[in-house]
Amino acid sequence: MVGRRGLIGAAMAWLVVCGAAAPLTAQTIFGTHSWQMQPYCNVVTLTLSPSPAGARLEGTDSLCGASNLGSAIGMATGNSAGNVTLNFTIVTAPAARPVHVTAVVNLQNGNGVWTDSGGNSGTMAYGVNTPGLPVRPVPLTQIGPNVITTLEIAPGAVSGSDINTAEVQARVSGSCPAGQAMSGINANGTVTCTAVTGGGGTPVAFKAGGHLGSGGYLPYAQYTDVTWTSTRFNTGGGTLSPAGTTYTVPAAGTYLLTGTVRVMGYQTSGSYCGGFRVNGTVIALTCNKYVANAQIDTDDVTLSTTAQLAAGDTVVASILSLIPGNGLTISGSNQAEANFTVTKLH
């Protein structure tokens, strides 16, 4: 093997004879040299032989003392910077996976830098074998990193087994049965479903209305249920009692209850409220309405609330008079029509 002095002396002789950019032709450069591909433990031993293009490289990769050495073959040429470029291919054993290496070594000391087709790089340390370093990684493929583009991928070549669903959303392939709706999409393309009620599977839309008349003044501090004169529409069930005050819920769910009732007050000032009662219990109440003293005044009581109801629950709209004496009545037939609606949300 040619030592460090031999390499440097031979390289200097080659520079004098051929110039920095000339091919390796001087006989004194030829011989056997070794480099450790740090930061790894691999030592490549290469013999440089005459070649019209510069020098032919043949040798081995120690694979850090493995029983089977890797073979190495390539070319060496001078470059414009006055250094030597070594291009060689190592075939690892026993995996038989090739790795292509480019190294540039300094003619003054034999050291340099290297990089390979697996994306690894480091220092070409001439004539050393530092122990305790890790083995250079063997590439899993002959294709270098970041070289595959759309042009290299055939249509339909990428399938579900080729993607990482932790980073790429798979094609959505799941569906939900009747009565259920999609509530989520998983990374692997499957879906989660949830049961749908109300507007999705059992719509309920009910409206009652009419020109109302209380038949007298409303009792003080007592709920008076509003009587509806007719049903405007009824989709999805539910019933209005014969007396026209009570709506019976057809199915469990979340409901939107709304209503508008006009009241008239006079002679006595005070406040009144409007709200809904479910099974006799008040669930929503709108108060602080005020009627001025000694004058006729009309006002629309607007009711709205959302409630979780069960099948068979009863709902009524009520007016609560807080005016002492004869001071408040539900509007008569010459006033605007009142209404009561029930809508199942889900």
pLDDT tens for each residue of 97-118: 889 999 999 888 889 999 998 8
CA dist 113 and 333 (Å) reads 100
What single-letter DSSP state applies at residue 220?
A: B
| Domains 4-126 and 205-344 belong to one CATH topology | no
CA-closest candidate to residue 337, choices 150, 151, 207, 147: 207
CA-closest candidate to residue 252, choices 305, 202, 303: 202
Share of the chain above pLDDT 70, in %: 78
What single-letter DSSP state applies at residue 261?
A: E
pLDDT, tens digit, for every residue of 51-79?
888 899 999 999 999 999 999 999 999 88
pLDDT, tens digit, for every residue of 305-327?
999 999 999 999 998 888 776 67
The reported pLDDT for the residue numbered 20 is: 37
Look at 21 and 80; give whichever has higher pLDDT. 80
Amino acid at 170: A
The reported pLDDT for the residue numbered 130 is: 95
CA dist 90 and 71 (Å) reads 5
CA distances in angstroms from 220 to 268, 296, 319, listed in the order given = 12, 18, 10
The reported pLDDT for the residue numbered 293 is: 56
Highest mean pLDDT among 52-56, 165-169, 188-192: 52-56
The reported pLDDT for the residue numbered 135 is: 94
Mean pLDDT of 245-257: 92
The CATH number of the domain covering residues in 4-126: 2.40.128
Whether pLDDT at 223 is above 60 = yes
CA dist 90 and 60 (Å) reads 8
Backbone angles phi, psi at 27, to 5 degrees: -65, -25
Look at 65 and 160; give whichever has higher pLDDT. 65
Question: Are 155 and 64 in contact, with CB atoms under 8 Å apart?
Answer: no
Residue 205: CB partners within 8 Å, gap ≥ 6? 233, 234, 235, 236, 341, 342, 343, 344
Mean pLDDT of 9-31: 45
The reported pLDDT for the residue numbered 72 is: 96
CA dist 295 and 215 (Å) reads 20
Mean pLDDT of 254-278: 82
Least confident range of 80-94, 177-191, 195-209, 273-287: 195-209
Whether pLDDT at 230 is above 70 = yes
The reported pLDDT for the residue numbered 197 is: 53
CA dist 237 and 203 (Å) reads 9
Structural domain boundaries of the chain?
4-126, 205-344
The reported pLDDT for the residue numbered 141 is: 62
At the top level of CATH, which class does the domain 205-344 belong to?
Answer: mainly beta
Share of the chain above pLDDT 90, in %: 32
Coil, strand or helix at 168: coil
**Claim: this prediction has a pTM higher than 0.85:** no
Whether pLDDT at 291 is above 70 = no
Look at 251 and 272; give whichever has higher pLDDT. 251
CA dist 169 and 185 (Å) reads 9
Amino acid at 130: T
The reported pLDDT for the residue numbered 26 is: 41
